[in-house]
Amino acid sequence: MKIGFEGKLYHGTAGTAAATEATNVKDLTLDFSATEVDATTRANGGYKGYVRGLKDIAISGKSNWDPADAFLAALKTSFIDGTPVAIKMLDVVGGDGPDGDFICTKFPRSENLDGVMEIDWSLKPYAAASRVMDWSEPTPST
């Protein structure tokens, strides 16, 4: 069993491996799904039959607002300019998770009266990435 705080999020320049740990991150969510393609034929005995279509992935999280934070600066630039950022989200150091170039699709700032300002951000794989989305696997121990 793994505990949430063991997870790691890394960022970097698009087209390169994400190597800088993003530490100003609160809760993270990895949404991994796929489309359902109806492949029903008469051979399905009166039931619909499906195959898995394209996979979809989204990473979302919250961070305390800090204009000097390099990770938030990269996400802000990605959102405003439409440019990608390298992202790797692992369940533990050297673990598994998505690794690729992403684009920031959501970057709202909340300013609660009784709390710190927060950014609630979302990332999706970048369509024109030179580094295609991949799934990082744990490094086997020897």
pLDDT at 142: 54
Question: Residues near 34 by Cβ (< 8 Å), separated by ≥ 6?
Answer: 52, 53, 54, 55, 56
Rounded distance between C-alpha atoms, residue 128 and residue 139, angstroms: 28
Q: What would the pLDDT profile of 67-124 be if each residue is shown by its tens digit?
A: 999 999 999 999 999 999 999 999 989 899 999 999 999 999 999 999 999 999 999 9
Cβ atoms of 9 and 102 closer than 8 Å: no
Instruction: State the residue range of the domain holding 120.
Output: 8-135
Mean of pLDDT values over 4-17: 94
Q: Provide the pairing of β-strand 85-90 with 8-13.
A: antiparallel
Q: Is residue 76 part of a domain?
A: yes
Q: Is residue 129 part of a domain?
A: yes
Number of folded domains that form the chain: 1
Cβ atoms of 64 and 50 closer than 8 Å: no
Q: Provide the pairing of β-strand 50-64 with 109-110.
A: unpaired
pLDDT at 133: 87
Q: Is residue 99 part of a domain?
A: yes
Q: What would the pLDDT profile of 34-70 be if each residue is shown by its tens digit?
A: 999 999 999 999 999 999 999 999 999 999 999 999 9
Q: Is residue 2 part of a domain?
A: no
Residue 89: CATH number of its domain: 2.30.110
Question: Residues near 91 by Cβ (< 8 Å), separated by ≥ 6?
Answer: 2, 6, 7, 97
Tell the residue number behind the tokens 């490094």, with chain if given.
139
